[in-house]
Amino acid sequence: MQRKLGKVNPAAPDIKSIQCYVLDMDGTVNLGDTPIAGAHELIGLFRQRDIQFYFFTNNSSKSPGDYVEKLTRLGFTGMARRHIMTSGDVMLHYLKTKKERLSVYLAGTPELEAQFRAAGVTLLSSGCPTADFAVLGFDTTFSFEKADTLCRLVSSGVPFLATNIDRVCPLEGDQFLPDCGSMAALVTHATGVEPKFIGKPFSETVEFILAHTGVPPEQTAMVGDRLYTDIKTAVNGGITGIAVLSGEISYLDIEQGDVKPDYIFPSVAELYEALK
Ligand SMILES: [Mg+2]
């Protein structure tokens, strides 16, 4: 069968009408420490045309500043905090839509704690008797004390939220770290309560993006190399999904999968060519 590339959903908006691009990082604009060919040119084109662009990561363990540094190391110039979106940002947006003044028990890294405090959220200490929400991040500083506090709060009826559903965080050479989804499973196993996950692929991510950018959904696109996170986010949120084959998924995966992108490009280099 002929491989169809470019626009694969006839009902999708014209690619040239997109005014806001949300890009996945690993597998989409970089492979580890190497930028993917065409990525620098694509960002240059966005700047030239005043098209909004953001890099989105489900990883809530690092600060947005860490990603600014990483992108700068990868040769992207002029990167700033405003170009970075994390599942932590989505969580804060979600919490703020629920309640203005929040007292939260957060099991997260010091970086995520700092992000919450900067947003005006009161963080409660381990052992606190109650909270507005019990929130779990990808916490590489997780401890028994934190697990115990989460379990007590959640079993007493405090709403349980988690930044991202990922079971593992892949590392170089087939290694991985246990991610937020696995830590949440510990609390669920103990309490019988499932968390509400917030980051990719859930609709809260797109709700945050649209509220933050002010660009309508028909002019917003998500670009990524994973069907069940990046492209599913676009499908769930009603924005354009652009799949690139430079990372995790192959053309065959898309043909056989039940999550369908609107556009398919071998890499961001071809997306750049289509926009030029
Ligand atoms: Mg990726």
199 CA to middle of ligand 1, Å?
14
265 CA to middle of ligand 1, Å?
14
pLDDT attached to residue 3: 87
127 CA to middle of ligand 1, Å?
37
Q: Are residues 181 and 98 in the same domain?
A: yes
User: Tens of pLDDT along 203-222?
Assistant: 999 999 999 999 999 999 99
Report the C-alpha gap between 33 and 96 in whole angstroms.
Answer: 35
Q: Are residues 264 and 239 in the same domain?
A: yes
Average pLDDT, stretch 244-255?
95
Q: Are residues 177 and 221 in the same domain?
A: no
Q: Are residues 132 and 160 in the same domain?
A: yes
In a domain, 77, yes or no: no
DSSP 153: H
Q: Are residues 165 and 99 in the same domain?
A: yes
In a domain, 24, yes or no: yes
Report the C-alpha gap between 141 and 180 in whole angstroms.
Answer: 12
27 CA to middle of ligand 1, Å?
4
18 CA to middle of ligand 1, Å?
21
247 CA to middle of ligand 1, Å?
6
Q: Are residues 34 and 116 in the same domain?
A: no
For the CA atoms of 99, 104, 108, 112, the dihedral, rounded to the nearest 10 degrees, stands at 50
In a domain, 80, yes or no: no
224 CA to middle of ligand 1, Å?
6
pLDDT attached to residue 1: 54
Pairing of strands 122-123, 103-107: parallel
Domain boundary, last residue among 180, 197, 214: 197
174 CA to middle of ligand 1, Å?
15
Q: Are residues 43 and 122 in the same domain?
A: no
204 CA to middle of ligand 1, Å?
19
Name which residue leads in pLDDT, 172 or 35: 35
- Domain, as residue range, for 118: 90-197
CATH number at residue 40: 3.40.50.1000
168 CA to middle of ligand 1, Å?
13
pLDDT band at residue 160 using 50, 70 and 90 as cut-offs: very high
pLDDT band at residue 170 using 50, 70 and 90 as cut-offs: confident
40 CA to middle of ligand 1, Å?
17
In a domain, 82, yes or no: no
39 CA to middle of ligand 1, Å?
14
In a domain, 66, yes or no: no
276 CA to middle of ligand 1, Å?
24
Domain boundary, last residue among 165, 197, 229: 197
pLDDT attached to residue 174: 85
Q: Are residues 19 and 51 in the same domain?
A: yes
164 CA to middle of ligand 1, Å?
14
226 CA to middle of ligand 1, Å?
6
In a domain, 84, yes or no: no
176 CA to middle of ligand 1, Å?
15
Report the C-alpha gap between 165 and 179 in whole angstroms.
Answer: 8
Q: Are residues 192 and 223 in the same domain?
A: no
Please report where in the chains the tokens 């289509």 appear, as a residue: 274
Q: Are residues 94 and 188 in the same domain?
A: yes
pTM for the model? 0.95
Q: Are residues 171 and 227 in the same domain?
A: no
175 CA to middle of ligand 1, Å?
16
Closest CA to 268 of 25, 39, 4, 10: 39
Domain boundary, last residue among 153, 174, 197: 197
Q: Are residues 139 and 212 in the same domain?
A: no
User: Tens of pLDDT along 8-65?
Assistant: 999 999 999 999 999 999 999 999 899 999 999 999 999 999 999 999 999 999 999 9
Closest CA to 54 of 274, 220, 241, 203: 220
**What's the structural domain count of the chain?**
2
User: Mean pLDDT of all residues in the chain?
Assistant: 96
User: Tens of pLDDT along 96-150?
Assistant: 999 989 999 999 999 999 999 999 999 999 999 999 999 999 999 999 999 999 9
Amino acid at the residue 1:
M
In a domain, 127, yes or no: yes
pLDDT attached to residue 171: 86
In a domain, 72, yes or no: no
